[in-house]
Structure 1
């Protein structure tokens, strides 16, 4: 096992495109860290730089205490699981599992022992004599994982390994990977574009956009204290509701967000955050509310009137798609006594769960003075503090 240290890693392609820009963070020994972001954000490029499959333009990468910028992939003591299974079709499962060890000169007895151990761990023992063509997608993915396991490397790198599986298999294989990590205690770096995979698997998550790190934190800390609008809307399904308007002060010194003429949302920031929001009086502000932090209420002061555009029951819960003075809202509700499409409903909210963002910089207001950084660059001054949710 080993820790990984990335110090201002940068990848610039010959045409000048910056794939990864100043990535700096540490992956702890034995940690399962997830790199997540939309397509083209640089997450797979960063993983391939760790693997040695992409040259590092500048910065320093250490595995343990060894700088590996110029070390060949085969000498970095890492194992990688790719999006495609990349199994040899003419070899049996057992031969696929042990092939990498054979190339490294391991003896027959050692190869056989490690293959048996990996097969038992992944419940592949009944399949050892089969060829890949006779396996299901989930079984092939387990063989790909097993081929990495038999290497017993210091670091596992997984590049969107579940994207070719159906929804049911993805869920069961996520559990399998999480169980394996607990059992092995090996450092793992997992790349995905799926925020559900990121939230359920990662002990910490690195959120990327356009090659830059936006925030690094535990899953629930990212969900509850997103550093900027991108993180706020990327993590969470359905995504966070956003309301735009001008901050106004009422005669009672209460604050409200004026969405349109006659439509105001009461704001209830407390302490230092209240003073920060007061600085936006007469100016635009963006306010976020998660779907579960809105609820149906009786008409009255402090409620929003909205038009039901769609009702989506999904079994144990339901989602209402609403229109509210030009804003699109989603509300998460119990699946009972739901309104109908075309109805007008009134919404209350949970004041303590409101999120405030500067509309120009898109940074979160946190009551500490300046808005939190829009992008975390790995420096100590910007390092986010992990919070338990």
Structure 2
């Protein structure tokens, strides 16, 4: 079994900057775990520490049960795919794929067998004699993946491998990576800041910010029960609406904001919110949990001015203004509203999120 275990792993640079502040988590055998966070949060530094490219200042790192804090990268049985493809421009695709195996002194026949197998899996067979300059971006990315795959490592480490591709190629390569992981079942740690990659690839997700872990969970649990304001605002596209106001509990729940009162009905968190009566909270509303109401519908929660419509085919994104508060709603196509119009909105009472405005933690 190949597991990766981090126990209070820490990285501090000489200038005192804490890049990774005591990261602890386990990656199961055959699991695809995603590290996600904004640029500069420490996720790539942590991946490089697992690879052995950055030293560990404190804590313990184990791969397959063996402590590897002081083990050289070449002896960790890992393979890493970098954000830039790092292909040798003077070598052909076949030579790039097999270069690492040649350095290890593997027999030529076995190198050729592995290169042919990986080239077939990644549909690179027609390009084996081409050099990187003659390849498309997607083909170069597949060569970079293939160079890691031929080594048959215990652990794959991928550092934003799709960030240099256009949207169509990202989709194709995302599907390819998921398919290859299902086929080989290699323990994989994948670093990205892309939310679609995060939600579609990760079996579990580690959300990082400022060197610290914010939450570890499955994709849907993170989306439906974010642990704090950072996770709530970071995961989701469009992002969750966050509204600050005072909570009232007269005839159902209501949030009094500077722009007016928002009626919230009777959400399932009522008991947990009892201590927050007449206190300030932050309300979180996913865009899909705001919906347009017909004239005369008594379920009105708030009114807002429609500023911009963004039709994207299967849905329409509504950019709204409720007083000084910007709101985003996601609706089906075919709505009869125009910019500048005042619209009436209801909320999905069963899907409300509440947060402590002081420390950002989830309430209830």
TM over 0.5: yes
Tell me if structure 1 keeps the 8 A contact 2:148–2:156. yes
Is it true that 1:320 corresponds to 2:318 in the alignment? yes
> Residue deviations 1:85-139, cap 9 Å, x none?
1111111100000000000010000100000111011011111011111100000
Q: Give SS of 1:265's match.
A: strand
The equivalences for 1:11-50 within 5 A come to 11-50=11-50
Distance 2:184 2:61 in 1: 24
Find out whether 1:196 has 2:196 as its counterpart.
Answer: yes
Q: Residues 115, 302 of structure 1: CA spacing in aligned structure 2 closer, same or farther, 3 A cutoff?
A: same
CA distance in structure 2 between the aligned counterparts of 1:60 and 1:292, rounded to whole angstroms: 42
2:105 corresponding residue in structure 1: 105
Secondary structure of 1:83's aligned partner:
coil
Instruction: Report the counterpart of residue 334 of structure 1 in structure 2.
Output: 332
Judge conservation of contact 1:259–1:265 (CA < 8 Å) in 2. Answer: no
Which of 270, 278, 282 is the aligned partner of 1:282? 278
- The CA RMSD measured in Å over matched residues stands at 1.2
Q: Report how far residue 302 of structure 1 moved.
A: 3.9
Pairing 1:69–2:69 present: yes
C-alpha change, 1:261 and 1:211, in structure 2 (3 Å) is closer
Deviations 1:35-84 (A, max 9, x none): 00000110000000000000000000000110000000000000000001
Number of residue-to-residue matches in the alignment: 362
Matched, 1:149 2:149: yes
What are the residue-to-residue correspondences of 1:74-93 with 2, within 5 Å?
74-93=74-93
**C-alpha distance in structure 1 between counterparts of 2:31 and 2:126, whole Å:** 31
1:271-313: CA deviations, max 9, x gaps? xx32221211221111111111111113546420100110100
- Which ranges in structure 2 are unaligned for 5 or more consecutive residues? none
State how far apart, in whole Å, the 2-side matches of 1:261 and 1:52 are: 53
- C-alpha spacing 1:301/1:107, structure 2 compared with 1 (3 Å): closer
The farther-off stretch of 260-269 and 162-171 is 260-269
The aligned residue for residue 120 of structure 1 is 120
Cα deviation, 1:186-227, whole Å, max 9, x if unaligned, reads 000000011111101100000000000000000011000000
Structure 1: segments with no counterpart, 5+ residues: 367-389
Structure 2 Cα separation of the partners of residues 160 and 113 of structure 1: 29
| Cα distance, 1:261–1:203 mapped onto 2, change above 3 Å | closer
Name the CA distance, whole Å, in 2 between partners of 1:275 and 1:194: 36
Distance 1:108 1:163 in 2: 34
Change in 2 beyond 3 A, CA 1:157/1:262: closer
* 3-state SS of 1:117 partner: helix
Measure the CA separation in 2 of the matches of 1:27 and 1:267.
41
1:164 and 2:157 correspond: no
Give me the TM-score of the superposition, normalised by structure 1: 0.91
Local SS of the residue matching 1:44 = helix
Give distance in 1, aligned partners of 2:308 and 2:259: 25
* Secondary structure at 1:279 match in 2: helix
Matched, 1:248 2:248: yes
Q: Using the alignment, how far apart are the partners of 2:195 and 2:155 within structure 1? A: 23
TM-score, with structure 2 as normaliser: 0.97
